[in-house]
Amino acid sequence: MRTAILALLATLCLETPALRAQIKARLPDTPMTPPWDKGIQPISRESYWNAVECGKQGGARPACVFYDADLCKNDDFTLAMYTPYKSVAYEVWRVVRAGQPPPTPSYGEAQRTRVTLGVTLTAGSKNAITDVVIKRGGKTFPPTARALEATGGKFTFDFSAFAPTADITIEVAGKTGTRTCTVEQPVLTMFR
């Protein structure tokens, strides 16, 4: 019995630091144009037209559309953000990239869009995702909806969870451990 307990403790001591390792969110080194410093918010006329300009850039992966590509880089999962801004910017980018004139995406549909955080397991990860929460200043923001899949999941949040008022921590719980990613307030302001 004692040997089994010691073995369990040794395993936890070896695995826990790596699985609880703090990740720091990073944005692409490429400047994001057009500029944006208001963070994720419900669509407004200002954010709508800024998103249209973002999408008009075309190219392979404009930073203003794909800023979240390596946001919280780690060995267990990748994140993808879906926001009202990104829904407009992506639709314009997709059409412009195909060589067509920029469309005018539905403003009404963008108004109905919430913040969804997609979590996808990286190749070889055995840490199946079980939940995601956002934490700020001792307060926890659970998702308003979640859809778990074998390869990760989608977690929808209210805008307040991503308000650029203070640092947040994205906590991704898995079957074998929890990873956390700190997003500092200045980085949150650049989220779109």
The pLDDT tens digits of the residues spanning 72-116 come to 999 999 999 999 999 999 999 999 999 999 999 999 999 999 999
Distance between the two ends of the chain, CA-based, in angstroms?
54
Determine the structural domain holding residue 124 and report its residue range. Answer: 22-190
Residue 59: pLDDT band with limits 50, 70, 90: confident
| 16: in domain | no
| 1: in domain | no
Rounded-to-integer distance, Cα 74 and Cα 61, Å: 21
Other CB atoms within a 10 A radius of the CB of residue 152 amount to 24
Cα→Cα distances 191→22, 28, 109, Å: 20, 11, 20
Domain count, the chain: 1
Which residue reads 């004139």 in tokens? 101
Residue 14, pLDDT score: 43
Percentage of residues of the chain with pLDDT beyond 70: 89
| 7: in domain | no
| 17: in domain | no
The pLDDT tens digits of the residues spanning 157-167 come to 999 999 999 99
> Cα torsion for 173, 61, 100, 112, to the nearest 10°?
30
